[in-house]
Amino acid sequence: MEQWLSYAIMAMLTGGVAMVFAKMGMGSANEHVALVIRTSVLLAMVVANAWYAGALSGVRSVDNKTMLWLVLAGLCTAVYWILYFKALKTANVSMVATIDRAGIVVTVLLSYFILKEPLTPRLLLGMGTILAGTLILIWK
Residue-wise pLDDT tens digits, 97-140: 989 989 999 999 999 999 999 999 999 999 999 999 999 988 87
pTM of the model: 0.84
Query: Is there a domain that residue 109 lies in?
Result: no
HSE on the CB side for 36, CA within 13 Å?
Answer: 5
pLDDT of 28 reads 87
- Percent pLDDT > 90 in the chain is 84
What is the total count of domains within the chain? 1
Query: Is there a domain that residue 48 lies in?
Result: yes
Query: Is there a domain that residue 107 lies in?
Result: no
Contacts of the segment 29-34: beta carbons below 8 A, 24+ positions apart: 30/89, 31/85, 31/86, 31/88, 31/89, 32/85, 34/85, 34/89
State the Cα torsion 127-131-134-136 to the nearest 10°.
-130
Query: Is there a domain that residue 88 lies in?
Result: yes
Q: What range does the domain containing 88 cover?
A: 3-100
Query: Is there a domain that residue 136 lies in?
Result: no
Query: Is there a domain that residue 124 lies in?
Result: no
